């Protein structure tokens, strides 16, 4: 039994219009997404802005209502849970993209990290402080930080505070929504290394949402590529990077800037090839409505959205 299973998840947002403000249409932000992940693994969700990767993550944790579909966590159906059954939610936490806006500027670090503890666990003041200090140590911040405010920290340190808050309740699944894209490269490496360390230490499972394929490749075991709310390809890291099948995946992989200056010309050439192929065969890979087809397995781990005929 998979640790987390998402079956045919749909999240549609109504578009209101007309004089009565009736629903005239829907935006299909997530339109039939299925995947499952195993305990202790890292699953990457990749796509351009607007592809629905963040909405998928938010639907799993319950920040967006699922229109249809089923999300099973550890055997429990957690689709659109009511407040009363919040217990499972404790085990799923989120790290947000922007460490500058995801921490309340008016609260001290102590209050920020203790907030989930206060919600779920009845602790005395001393116990609470002890727990927060433990967490701070775990994420590599000094104990004086406890009385400081978010603006007194750098971006990387703030992201660590966000991580400390996320792991305060000893969750089992963490959804990390572009946790490093707002950070500088040197700090990015610190946070990525650190996320890998705590994954090992605490046995965490990650869903890693991102668009930087270098980071995704570094962090993830399995990857799903999204385009306009649907999957175009899913597979292990090797499937996706060494053997991309869908034209959209190829285009994404080709767009990554190579760090080696000597490869410049080859890369431009390759990119133009892929771009040409993309334009020519767009109709073969996408349906009349511009959406991807259903996924077909081409190996045990590798699924590609190909048209019915073949």
Partner 1 sequence: MSKLLEVKDLRVSFKTYSGEVQAVRGIDFDLKKGETLAIVGESGSGKSVTTKAITKLLPEPQGYIKTGEILFEGQDITKYSNKQMQKLRGRDISTVFQDPMTSLNPTMKVGKQIAEGLIKHRKMSKAQAREKTIELLELVGIPQAEKRLNQFPHQFSGGMRQRAVVAIALACNPKILIADEPTTALDVTIQAQILELMKDIQREMDSAIIFITHDLGVVANVADRVAVMYAGKIVEVGTADDIFYNPKHPYTWGLLGSMPTLDSDEEELFAIPGSPPDMLNPPEGDAFAPRNRFALEIDTQMEPPMFQVSDTHYAATWLLHEYAPKIEPPESVQRRMQGFASMDDGKDGEA
117 or 209: CB nearest partner 1: 209
With respect to partner 1, which residue has the nearer C-beta, 141 or 304?
Answer: 141
Q: Are 188 and 180 in contact (CB under 8 A)?
A: yes
Q: Least Å distance between CB 212 and partner 1?
A: 7
Q: Measured from the CB atom, is 53 or 172 closer to partner 1? A: 53
Instruction: Report helix, strand or coil for 217.
Output: helix
Residue 187 CB, shortest distance to partner 1, in Å, is 7
Residue 23 Cβ vs partner 1, minimum distance, rounded to whole Å: 23
Contact residues for partner 1 (CB under 8 A)?
A: 48-49, 154-157, 184-190, 192-193, 196, 211-215, 217-219, 237, 241, 251-252, 254-264, 267-268, 271
CB 208 within 8 A of CB 199: no
Per the CB < 8 A criterion, the answer to whether 197 and 191 are in contact is no
Q: Check: CB of residue 31 under 8 Å from CB of residue 291.
A: yes
Nearest-angstrom CA–CA distance, 216 and 236: 11
Report which of 59, 96, 60 is spatially closest to residue 180, judged by C-alpha positions.
Answer: 96
Q: Which is nearer to partner 1, 49 or 126 (CB)?
A: 49
CB of 252 to partner 1, least distance (A): 6
* Minimum separation from the CB atom of position 130 to partner 1 (A): 27
Of 202 and 268, the one with the shorter C-beta distance to partner 1 is 268
Closest distance between partner 1 and the C-beta of residue 279, in Å?
Answer: 13
- Complete DSSP assignment for 144-196: GGGG--GGGS-HHHHHHHHHHHHHTT--SEEEEESTTTTS-HHHHHHHHHHHH
Instruction: Output 89 or 158, the one with its CB closest to partner 1.
Output: 158
- Closer Cβ to partner 1, 13 or 194, answer by number: 194
Distance (Å, whole) CA 152 – CA 141: 13
d(CA 208, CA 205): 10
Choice between 22 and 265, CB closer to partner 1: 265
86: left (phi over 0), alpha (psi -120 to 50) or beta: alpha
- Helix, strand, coil content of the chain in percent (nearest 5): 40, 25, 35
Distance in Å, CB of 125 to partner 1, minimum: 31
- Minimum CB–partner distance for residue 224 and partner 1 (Å): 17
User: What radius of gyration do the chain's Cα atoms show?
Assistant: 21
């Amino acid at each position: 039994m998979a640790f987390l299973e998402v079956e045919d998840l749909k999240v549609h947002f109504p578009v209101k219009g007309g004089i009565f403000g009736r629903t005239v249409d829907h935006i299909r932000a997530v339109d039939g997404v299925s995947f499952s992940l195993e305990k202790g693994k890292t699953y990457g969700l990749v796509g351009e802005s607007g592809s629905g990767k963040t909405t998928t993550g938010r639907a799993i944790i319950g920040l967006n209502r699922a229109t249809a579909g089923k999300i099973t966590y550890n055997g429990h159906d957690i689709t659109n849970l009511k407040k009363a059954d919040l217990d499972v939610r404790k085990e799923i936490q989120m790290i947000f993209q922007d460490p500058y806006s995801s921490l309340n500027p008016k609260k001290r670090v102590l209050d920020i990290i203790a907030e989930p503890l206060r919600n779920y666990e009845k602790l005395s003041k001393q116990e609470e402080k002890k727990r927060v200090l433990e967490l701070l140590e775990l994420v590599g911040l000094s104990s004086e930080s406890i009385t400081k405010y978010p603006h007194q920290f750098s971006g990387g340190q703030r992201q660590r505070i966000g991580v400390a808050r996320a792991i305060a309740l000893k969750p089992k699944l963490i959804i990390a929504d572009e946790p490093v894209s707002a950070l500088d490269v040197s700090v990015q490496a610190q946070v990525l290394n650190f996320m890998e360390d705590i994954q090992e230490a605490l046995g965490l499972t990650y869903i890693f949402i991102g668009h930087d394929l270098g980071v995704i490749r570094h962090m993830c075991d399995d990857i799903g590529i999204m385009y306009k709310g649907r999957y175009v390809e899913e597979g292990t890291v090797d499937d996706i990077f060494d053997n991309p099948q869908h034209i959209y995946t190829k285009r994404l992989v080709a767009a990554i800037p190579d760090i080696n200056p000597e490869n410049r010309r080859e890369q431009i050439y390759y990119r133009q090839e892929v771009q040409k192929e993309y334009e020519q065969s767009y109709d073969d890979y996408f349906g009349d409505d511009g959406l991807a087809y259903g996924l077909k397995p081409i190996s045990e781990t590798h699924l590609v959205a190909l048209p019915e005929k073949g």
